[in-house]
Amino acid sequence: MKICILGGTGFIGHYLTNYFSQQFHQVKALGRQAFAPDFDLTSTLNGQDLVIMLAGANVGERWSKQHKQALWDSRLNTNARLAQALSQCKQPPARIFSASAIGIYPQNSCTNLIDETCTEIGEGVLGQLGKAWEEASLKLLPKPLILRFGVVLGKNGGALAKMLPPFKMGLGGPVAGGQQCFSWIHLEDLARIMSFAIEHPELEGPINVTAPNPVSNAVFGASLAKALHRPFWLPLPEWQLKLMFGEGAQVLTHSSAIVPQRLLDAGFEFTYPQIDDALKACV
Ligand code: NDP
C-alpha cells in the first residue's frame, strides 16, 4: 500500500514510517515543507492509497503568544492547504486518517469514564482547538478516520522524554495535586491501531486512541518511578508548572478519563492495556 504521512518527521510519524516500512508498505514521510507554497502537494498525494495527517505544532511547550498562534495555524492552515491539494488530485487517496486529541473532551475524573458517545466539547483552549481541528479534518476527504490521541508513550521522544529527567534524578512526584486523570497510549499500540484501521475500512469518524485503563497523575508518576527504581516523593505544585509552561500548564493539569470503546467494540486487543507494563517497555 502507498502511504503518505504528513507531519511524518515527528515523534509519532517517525515511528509509523519505520513500522509501516517493515510491513512492506511504500511510505512517504514529510515534515512542514509539505505545506510550503512552492511544494507540489497535489502530485505528492496523487495515487496514494492512504494519507495520515499528523502535522501540528507541539502542545507540550511553553505557550508564548507566538506559540499559541502556531498551535492553531499549524493545524487549520495545513488542513486547508491539504484540502485544496486533495481536491485537485486526479487519483485522490482512498482514505485519510487525521490526528486529533482527547483534549477535545470536557474535563472529567478517573471514576467517570468518557467514550466516543460524548459529544460535549471542552470549554478551554484545548477543547476549542480540538473542535476547529476536527472540523477542518472533516473537509479533507469523505469519511475520514479521526484519531483522538491520548498522551503517547514511547522511547526517545514525546511527553515521556520531557518527564524523564527529574524522575531519573530521583525527583519525581505528583503534579498539581496528582488527582487529574491521565489517558495514555503506548506508541506500539498506536501503530497497531493504524494497521487495524487499514484492515477495517468500515472504521470512520472519531475514535479514542487511548489504552483502556486511564490512571491518575499520581498513579502514573508512581508507576514511572517504580519502572526506573527511583523514589516518588517531590510534589510539583500548579503555580510552579505555570511558571514553567505558562498557559500550556493546562496540558498537564487537564483531567481526561477516556476509554477507546469503539476500538474495543471492533475487537482490537491492546498489547499494553496497563500502565506498569507500558512504562517498563519504554524506560
Ligand atoms: P511532533 O511535535 O513530534 O511532530 C510534529 C510534526 O508536525 C512534525 O512532522 C512537524 O514537522 C510538523 N509540524 C510542526 N509544526 C508545523 C507547522 N507549523 N506546519 C506544518 N507542520 C508542522 O508531534 P507528535 O509526533 O508527537 O504528534 C503528531 C500529532 O499528534 C500532532 O498533531 C499532535 O498534536 C498529535 N498528538 C500527539 C500526542 C502525543 O502525545 N505525542 C497526543 C495528542 C495528540 P517538522 O519536523 O518539519 O517540524
Q: How many whole angstroms from 228 Cα to the centroid of ligand 1?
A: 27
Residue 140 lies in a domain: yes
- Atom 31 in ligand 1: residue holding the nearest Cα: 56
User: Which pLDDT does position 175 carry in this prediction?
Assistant: 96
Question: Is 114 part of any domain?
Answer: yes
Question: What's the pLDDT score for residue 222?
Answer: 98
38, burial (CB in 10 Å: exposed 0-12, middle 13-18, buried 19+): exposed
> Which percentage of the chain shows pLDDT scores above 70?
100
pLDDT of residue 32: 98
Ligand 1 and 154: CB distance under 6 A: no
163 lines ligand 1 (CB under 6 A): no
| Ligand 1 pocket member 57 (CB < 6 A) | yes
Does residue 233 lie within any of the structural domains? no
Q: What's the CATH number where 95 sits?
A: 3.40.50.720
Q: How many structural domains are present in the chain?
A: 1
Residue 180 C-alpha to ligand 1 middle, in angstroms? 24
Determine, yes or no, domain membership for 216: no
Name the residue range of residue 122's domain. Answer: 2-154+184-210
Q: Is residue 255 part of a domain?
A: no
Q: Using alpha carbons, select from 181, 166, 156, 151 the residue that is nearest to residue 241.
A: 166
Residue 174 DSSP one-character state: -
Instruction: Check if the beta carbon of residue 201 is closer than 8 Å to that of residue 95.
Output: yes
Say if 60 falls within a structural domain: yes
Residues 20-69: pLDDT tens digits? 999 999 999 999 999 999 999 999 999 999 999 999 999 999 999 999 99
Q: Between β-strands 145-149 and 215-216, what pairing exists: parallel, antiparallel or unpaired?
A: unpaired
Q: How confident is the model at residue 6 (pLDDT cuts 50, 70, 90)?
A: very high
Torsion angle of C-alpha atoms 261, 263, 264, 266, degrees rounded to 10: 120
Determine, yes or no, domain membership for 262.
no
267 pLDDT band, cuts 50/70/90, is: very high
- In single-letter form, the type of residue at position 30 comes to L
pLDDT digits (tens, 9 = 90+) for 79-137: 999 999 999 999 999 999 999 999 999 999 999 999 999 999 999 999 999 999 999 99
Kindly report, residue by residue over 190-227, the tens digit of the pLDDT: 999 999 999 999 999 999 999 999 999 999 999 999 99
pLDDT of residue 128: 97
Decide if 14 is inside a domain.
yes
Q: Report pLDDT for 280.
A: 98
What pLDDT score was predicted for residue 159? 95
Q: Which atom of ligand 1 is nearest to the CA of 8?
A: 9
For residue 253 the three cell numbers come to: 493539569
